[in-house]
A and B are shown apart, each in its own frame.
Chain A
Amino acid sequence: MTDLLSKFDPLIQERENLLATGVKDPFSLVMEEVLSPTVAICNGKETILLGTYNYMGMTFDDDVRQAGLKALEEFGSGTTGSRVLNGTYSLHRDCEEALKEFYDMDHAMVFSTGYQANLGIISTLAGKGDYVILDIDSHASIYDGCAMGNAEIVAFRHNDVEALEKRLKRLPAEAGKLVVLEGVYSMLGDVAPLKEMVRICKENGAMVLVDEAHSMGFIGENGRGVCEEQGVIDDVDFIIGTFSKSVGTVGGFCVSNHPKAEILRLVCRPYVFTASLPPSVMATASTSIRKLMHSGNKRAHLWENSKKLHQGLRDLGFTLGTPEAQSAIIAVIMPDLEKGAMMWQALLAEGLYVNLARPPATPANMTLLRCSLCAEHTSEQVDQILGMFEAAGKAVGAI
Chain B
Amino acid sequence: MANREEIMAKVSELIGPFNNKGVELAPGTTFQGDLEWDSLTVMDFVAAVEDEFDIIITMNMQAEIETVGQLADAVAKLMEN
Hey, which bits of chain A sit against chain B, CB under 8 A?
A: 131, 136, 146, 152-157, 163, 166-167, 170-171, 363-365
Enumerate chain A residues within 8 angstroms of B58, measured Cβ to Cβ.
131, 152-154
- Cα–Cα distance between A365 and B39 once the two chains are bound (Å): 9
Closest to A136 in B: B43
In the assembled complex, B60 has its CB within 8 A of some CB on chain A? yes
Are A166's CB and B59's CB within 8 A? no
Does B64 make an interface contact (CB < 8 A)?
Answer: no
CB distance from A149 to the nearest CB of B (A): 11
Q: Is B26 an interface residue (CB 8 A)?
A: no
Q: Within 8 Å of chain A (Cβ to Cβ): is B5? A: no
Contact yes or no, B60 A153, CB < 8 A: yes
A156 cross-chain contacts in B, Cβ below 8 A: 47
CB contacts (< 8 Å) of B54 on chain A: these are 170
With a cutoff of 8 Å between Cβ atoms, the chain B residues found around residue A171 in the complex are: 56
B55/A152 in contact, CB under 8 A: no
B→A interface (CB under 8 Å): 38, 40, 43-44, 47, 50-51, 54-56, 58-60
Given contacts A170-B54, A365-B38, contact A154 B59 (CB under 8 A): yes
Residue of A nearest to B43 (CB): A136
Q: What is the CA–CA distance of A323 and B28 in the complex, to the nearest angstrom?
A: 43
- The smallest beta-carbon distance between B17 and chain A, in angstroms, is 16
Residues of chain B within 8 A (CB-CB) of A136 are 43
7 residue pairs, one from A and one from B, having the closest CB atoms: A153-B59, A152-B58, A170-B56, A154-B58, A152-B60, A136-B43, A153-B58
Complex Cα spacing A213 to B48, Å: 32
Q: Which of A131, A146, A153, A163 contacts B47 (CB 8 A)?
A: A163
Q: CA of A154 to CA of B50 in the docked complex: distance in angstroms?
A: 11
Q: Is the CB of A155 within 8 A of B40?
A: no
Q: How far is the CB of A19 from chain B (nearest CB, A)?
A: 25
Can you identify 21 A-B contacts, CB atoms within 8 angstroms?
A136-B43, A146-B59, A152-B60, A153-B58, A153-B59, A153-B60, A154-B56, A154-B58, A154-B59, A155-B43, A157-B44, A157-B47, A166-B50, A166-B51, A167-B50, A167-B56, A170-B50, A170-B54, A170-B55, A363-B40, A365-B40
User: Per DSSP, are chain B's interface residues mostly helix, strand or loop, or mixed?
Assistant: helix
Q: Once the chains are docked, how many angstroms separate the CA of A170 from the CA of B53?
A: 11
* Bound complex: CA A130 to CA B60 (Å): 12
Q: Which residues in B have their C-beta under 8 angstroms from that of A365? A: 38, 40
Give Cα distance in the complex from A364 to B60, angstroms: 21
- A168–B55 Cα gap in the complex (Å)? 11
In the complex, how many angstroms separate the beta carbon of A202 from the nearest chain B beta carbon? Answer: 20
A residues less than 8 Å from B47 (CB atoms): 156-157, 163
Residues of A within 8 A of B44 (CB): 157
Chain B residues in 8 Å Cβ range of A364: 40
Q: Is the CB of B60 within 8 A of A157?
A: no
The smallest C-beta distance from A50 to any residue of chain B, in angstroms, reads 28
A166 to B47, CA, bound (A): 10
Contacts of B43 in A (CB 8 A): 136, 155, 157
Most buried by A among B43, B47, B56, B60: B56
Least CB separation from A167: chain B residue: B56
Q: Provide the bound-state CA to CA distance between A153 and B43, in Å.
A: 13
B48 vs chain A, min Cβ distance (A): 11
Within the complex, the shortest CB–CB distance from B47 to chain A, in Å, comes to 6
Q: How far is the CB of B70 from chain A (nearest CB, A)?
A: 18
The complex places the Cα of A165 from the Cα of B38 at a distance, in Å, of: 25
Residue pair B59, A155 in contact (C-beta under 8 Å): yes
CA distance A197 to B40 in the complex (A): 22
Contacts of A167 in B (CB 8 A): 50, 56
Expressed in whole angstroms, the minimum distance between the Cβ of B29 and any Cβ of chain A is: 23
Shortest Cβ gap from A368 to chain B (Å): 15
Bound Cα distance from A136 to B47, whole angstroms: 11
Distance in Å from the Cβ of A366 to the closest Cβ of chain B?
A: 10
Closest to B54 in A: A170
Contacts of B59 in A (CB 8 A): 146, 153-155
